């Protein structure tokens, strides 16, 4: 074996290692999982689910809301952090921190919004709040984790 073959061999190993590193560094998303399926949220009501962050750096939450034809307000998605899965941020502090997004609103229509939530703590409670005080809303939601 001559020196040129050895250099070629190491170059091939090096190239493979670089490919592996690129995969590890680039963001990786999981398959979307439906967490709410056509759930009716009562007037001024809230539906929620908790995410365990584990090895992921963010969640991608997609919420689809179908509004009553007479509704006058939409849906808010807010998230609350917890270090221990029991003590979560208060809804007021989450709002004060800007940890919420409102879906656009149009009576009788369906609106969908995708939100990226960074995992700042091991647990994240996602709340979907019906801002309408008179009519229910039907909601479907998916979560996807991102590395």
Sequence spans of domains, the chain? 33-146
For 72, phi then psi, to 5°, come to -120, -5
Instruction: For residue range 35-87, list pLDDT tens digits in order.
Output: 999 999 999 999 999 999 888 899 999 999 999 999 999 999 999 999 999 99
The closest of 66, 64, 41, 47 to 136, measured between CA atoms, is 41
Kindly report, residue by residue over 18-31, the tens digit of the pLDDT: 665 555 555 678 89
CATH code at 33-146: 2.60.120.680
**Rounded to an integer, what distance in angstroms lies between the CA atom of residue 69 and that of residue 95?**
28
How many angstroms separate the CA atoms of 74 and 132, rounded?
6
């Amino acid at each position: 074996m001559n020196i040129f073959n050895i250099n070629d061999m190491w170059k091939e190993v090096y190239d493979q290692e670089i490919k592996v590193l690129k995969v590890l560094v680039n963001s990786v998303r999981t398959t979307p999982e439906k967490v709410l399926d056509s759930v009716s949220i009562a007037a001024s009501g809230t539906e929620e689910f908790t995410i365990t962050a584990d090895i992921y750096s963010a969640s991608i939450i997609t919420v689809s809301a179908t509004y009553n034809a007479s509704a006058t307000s939409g849906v808010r998605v807010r998230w609350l952090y917890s270090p221990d899965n029991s003590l979560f941020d208060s809804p007021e502090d989450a709002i004060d921190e800007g940890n919420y997004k409102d879906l656009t609103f149009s009576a009788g229509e369906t609106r969908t919004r995708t939100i990226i939530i960074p995992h700042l703590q091991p647990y994240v409670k996602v709340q979907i709040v019906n801002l309408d005080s008179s009519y229910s809303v039907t909601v479907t939601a998916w979560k996807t984790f991102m590395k």
